């Protein structure tokens, strides 16, 4: 504003003294101009210093953010390797449990088989017992039969023995007959009895063998039952170990979630820190280009005022005209029915769309200040100059993307349009209110198609934007 008054003073003095002394006027003007330039240079230097400390501060924040990200990443790596380790252990446990289950099943099969064998042996023992009993009965009845026969022989021969039977022969032929008969009876009885005795002994041996076999089998079954119990114990231990590992895995997963959330937050924060940060070199270049354009614009504005003053003087000299109303500098209507800011309306909306971010502090911790507003809409949506002015810079910035700066001399404001898809104007171009200057885009540090719009009083300065809503209808 000071500079404005300075220009006006120079202008008025110029008009007053123009008719008296041409030399004085140009000398005066030159001095004033030198002073003005000197002042502007000082101001630029001051601005550059301020900017440098702001950039340093942002860079510090970015460094801090980067350090935190690296730390979190290495924590994630550790958790990842812990997780891989735990998963490998879990897999080993699971295969151990599967193997133990197989062994248990095998052992159960064997136990079942052994039980069957024991049952078979028991049946065999029972069968042998029956057979032995049968044989004993047979031997008993045979003995009984022999006794009967002997008794009948003795009865037949009175009180005689076999020998008496033989000796009682009437003739040699009778003797032979008698001896043969007795021998036959004796031999056959003896043979039968011997055979039966042998059978019985064999059966008994067999029974002992089968009983031994059964005992062996029962021992084996006991061993198998013990094996099975051991396997069940092993399995129970493995299951407990697996549960512990599951618990560890859950904890690790939770830790991982925490780290990933932190990482996302840090990344968002980094995006925000990067979004509207210019390098010192870029900033100084912008300030320099802007200074040249603004100087020129002011010069032109001054000429325009001079011209108007001249015209007015002529009109007054003629003194026969009614007053011409001021040009249509009145209130402009809202050019954006979907958005309403309620400001003074000295600027028109730069684009149609949805306001996705306000001027002010970002919502998250350490998010910094947002020096403009964001308007989102489709790619290529028309971006319009918000007032008459001159393009003070049109270029591609690594952070702002395709960017246009417009200086509005009548309002002494600068407006900034960032992340454009295309630029339709160049530095030094004059633009009028509502003129399309480019299309909406997603260039630079941007996340989705949107317009980042800033308003600055006087020239542009990094982190010096004021709330655009105060100027929008
Ligand atoms: Zn923005």
Per-residue pLDDT tens digits for 19-70 = 444 555 566 777 787 788 788 878 877 776 776 677 677 778 878 888 888 8
Q: Which residues touch 469 (CB under 8 Å, ≥6 apart)?
A: 341, 342, 343, 358, 359, 373
Distance from residue 358's CA to the centre of ligand 1 (Å): 8
The rounded Å distance from CA 473 to ligand 1 centre is: 20
Range with lowest mean pLDDT among 123-132, 414-423, 456-465: 123-132
Residue that the structure tokens 């001054």 belong to = 302
* C-alpha of residue 332 to centroid of ligand 1, in Å: 25
pLDDT value of position 2: 47
pLDDT band at 226 (very low <50, low <70, confident <90, very high): very high
Is the residue at 459 inside a domain? yes
What was the pLDDT predicted at 14? Answer: 52
CA of residue 472 to ligand 1 center, whole Å = 16
Instruction: For residues 152 and 283, state if they share a domain.
Output: no
Stretch 396-404: mean pLDDT: 91
Q: Into how many domains does the chain fold?
A: 2
For the chain, the 3-state helix, strand and coil shares in percent, each to the nearest 5, are 65, 10, 25
Q: Which of 63-67, 427-431, 465-469 has the lowest mean pLDDT?
A: 63-67
Sign of CA dihedral 26, 30, 32, 36: positive
| Confidence bin at 10 (pLDDT 50/70/90) | low
- Same-domain check for residues 137 and 189: yes
Tell me the CA–centroid distance for residue 394 and ligand 1, in Å.
18
pLDDT at residue 321, as a whole number: 52
Q: How far is the CA of 298 from the centre of ligand 1 (A)?
A: 29
Q: Name the band, by pLDDT with cuts 50, 70 and 90, for residue 139.
A: confident
Q: How far is the CA of 280 from the centre of ligand 1 (A)?
A: 20
Cα(200) to centroid(ligand 1), Å: 111
pLDDT in tens, 151-162: 766 665 544 566
- pLDDT, mean of residues 299-309: 84
Residue 447 belongs to domain with CATH number: 2.70.70.10
Kindly state whether residues 232 and 295 are assigned to the same domain: no
470 alpha carbon – ligand 1 mean position (Å)? 17
Mean pLDDT of 164-190: 78
Distance between Cα 450 and ligand 1 center (Å): 8
Distance in Å, CA 415 to ligand 1 centroid: 13
Query: Which pair of structure tokens corresponds to residue 248?
Result: 């560890």
Across 190-194, 228-232, 419-423, the highest mean pLDDT is recorded for: 419-423
Domain of 227 in residue numbering reads as 88-238
pLDDT value of position 316: 80
Q: Does residue 371 form part of some domain?
A: yes
Task: Give the pLDDT score at 1.
Answer: 46
The verdict on 276 and 172 lying in the same domain is no
CA of 370 to the centre of ligand 1 (A): 6
Q: Is 158 left (phi over 0), alpha (psi -120 to 50) or beta?
A: left
Q: Residues 366, 432: one domain?
A: yes
* 74: Cα within 13 Å, side-chain hemisphere: 5
The residue that leads in pLDDT, 190 or 162, is 190
Lookup: tokens for 76: 């994630």
d(CA 441, ligand 1 centre) in Å: 12
User: Phi/psi of residue 201, each to 5°?
Assistant: -60, -45
Residue 249 counted as domain residue: no
Q: What is the mean pLDDT of residues 194-216?
A: 84
Whether the pLDDT of residue 440 is over 50: the answer is yes
Q: Clarify whether residues 346 and 457 are in a common domain.
A: yes
Q: Which of the four pLDDT bands, split at 50, 70 and 90, describes residue 193?
A: confident
Is the domain of 36 the same as that of 146?
A: no
108 and 58 belong to one structural domain: no
Span 270-282, mean pLDDT? 71
CATH assignment of the domain containing 119: 1.10.287
Q: What is the pLDDT of residue 328?
A: 42
User: Mean pLDDT in the chain?
Assistant: 82
Compute the distance from residue 269 Cα to the ligand 1 centre, in Å.
13
| pLDDT value at 301 more than 70 | yes
Same domain, 209 and 122: yes
Residue whose C-alpha is closest to residue 456's, from 441, 438, 468, 448: 468
Å from CA of 53 to ligand 1 middle: 21
Q: What is the 447 CA–ligand 1 centroid distance (Å)? A: 10
User: Would residue 244 count as lying in a domain?
Assistant: no
- pLDDT-derived band at 296 (thresholds 50, 70, 90) equals confident
Q: What is the mean pLDDT of residues 232-257?
A: 90
Q: How far is CA 297 from CA 229, 311, 410, in A?
A: 97, 21, 10
Asked, for residue 380, whether it belongs to a domain, the answer is yes
């Amino acid at each position: 504003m000071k500079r404005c008054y300075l220009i006006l003073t120079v202008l008025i003095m110029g008009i007053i003294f123009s008719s008296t002394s041409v030399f004085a006027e140009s000398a005066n003007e030159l001095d004033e101009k030198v002073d003005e330039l000197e002042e502007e240079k000082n101001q630029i230097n001051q601005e550059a210093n301020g900017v440098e400390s702001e950039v340093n501060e942002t860079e510090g924040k970015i460094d801090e953010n980067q350090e935190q990200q690296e730390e979190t990443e290495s924590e994630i790596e550790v958790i990842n390797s812990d997780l891989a380790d735990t998963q490998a252990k879990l897999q080993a446990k699971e295969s151990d449990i599967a193997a133990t289950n197989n062994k248990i099943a095998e052992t159960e099969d064997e136990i079942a088989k052994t039980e069957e064998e024991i049952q078979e042996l028991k049946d065999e023992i029972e069968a042998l017992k029956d057979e032995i009993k049968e044989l004993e009965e047979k031997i008993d009845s045979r003995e009984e039969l022999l006794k009967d026969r002997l008794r009948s022989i003795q009865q037949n021969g009175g009180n005689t023995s076999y020998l008496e039977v033989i000796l009682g022969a009437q003739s040699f032929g009778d003797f032979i007959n008698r001896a043969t008969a007795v021998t036959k009876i004796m031999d056959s009885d003896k043979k039968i009895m011997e055979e039966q005795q042998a059978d019985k002994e064999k059966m008994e041996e067999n029974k002992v063998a089968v009983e031994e076999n059964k005992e062996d089998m029962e021992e084996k079954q006991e061993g198998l039952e013990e094996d099975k119990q051991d396997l069940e114990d092993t399995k129970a231990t493995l299951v407990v170990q697996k549960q512990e590992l599951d618990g560890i895995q859950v904890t690790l997963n939770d830790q991982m979630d925490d780290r990933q959330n932190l990482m996302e937050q840090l990344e968002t924060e980094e995006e925000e820190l990067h979004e509207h940060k210019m390098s010192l070199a870029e900033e100084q270049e912008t300030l320099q280009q802007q200074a040249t354009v603004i100087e020129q614009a002011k010069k032109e504005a001054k000429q325009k005022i001079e011209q108007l003053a001249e015209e007015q003087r002529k009109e007054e000299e003629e003194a026969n005209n009614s007053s011409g109303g001021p040009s249509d500098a009145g209130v402009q209507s809202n050019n954006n029915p979907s958005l309403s800011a309620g400001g003074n309306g000295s600027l028109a909306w730069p684009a149609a769309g949805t306001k996705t971010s306000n001027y002010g502090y970002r919502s998250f911790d350490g998010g910094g200040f947002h020096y403009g507003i964001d308007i989102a809409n489709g790619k290529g949506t028309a971006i319009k100059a918000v007032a008459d002015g001159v393009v003070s810079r049109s270029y591609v910035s690594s952070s702002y993307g395709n960017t246009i700066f417009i200086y509005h001399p009548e309002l002494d404001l600068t407006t900034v349009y960032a992340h454009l898809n295309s630029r339709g104007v160049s530095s030094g171009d004059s633009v009028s209110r509502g003129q399309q200057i480019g299309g909406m885009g997603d260039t630079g540090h941007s996340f989705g198609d949107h317009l980042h719009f800033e308003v600055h009083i006087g020239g542009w300065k990094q982190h010096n934007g004021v709330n655009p809503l105060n100027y929008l209808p």
